Amino acid sequence: MTNTVIFQKLINGYEELAYTNKYIFGFVYDGVIYASFTVVDLALICKLDKASRGAGYSLRFKPNKAQKVLLLMGAQPVCSVEYFNAEVKRSIYNKGEIFEKLVTETICGQEWVKDNVPFTEAGDVEWNGIAYQIKFEGATFTNEKTLARLTA
């Protein structure tokens, strides 16, 4: 199977199983952390990557500069990179979780609670009646092993 076929299979498999197809994408641009509500084809902002622990390939949100410019169209600033990095440093949570916390609390006006609800059962936040998955740059959407297990 070619990488292009694997990439498209991961996107299609994820989209078929996902509870929601609405996203809030987080990324760094010119020293600012942004949250983008842009509706965009995952193929335009994701890449095929090697998954860890023998899980095959993964679908990862790793936008380059041109992709970040595309995402800026529906974006709003969240905080400075310095503030964000300080929050990550003093926390037990990773960058994705801190981004999710900041978006949930500052943009959505809700209390954030860490959970492990699968992407097939709920979004990361429900805001204005819409469920969203929240992804910060570097985040993995899914991998071959997970999709095989969920579709078995």
Q: Is 43 contained in some domain?
A: yes
Residues 14-28: b if buried by 16+ CB within 10 A, e if exposed: beeebeeeebbbbbb
State how many domains the chain has.
Answer: 1
Q: Is 38 contained in some domain?
A: yes
Give residue 102's pLDDT band: very low, low, confident or very high (50, 70, 90): very high
Q: Is 147 contained in some domain?
A: no
Q: Is 102 contained in some domain?
A: yes
Q: Is 116 contained in some domain?
A: yes
Contacts of 126 (CB under 8 A, 6+ apart): 132
Q: Which residues form the domain of 103? A: 3-138
- What was the pLDDT predicted at 152? 82
Q: Is 150 contained in some domain?
A: no
Q: Is 145 contained in some domain?
A: no
The model carries a pTM of 0.93
Q: Is 148 contained in some domain?
A: no
pLDDT digits (tens, 9 = 90+) for 1-20: 799 999 999 999 999 999 99
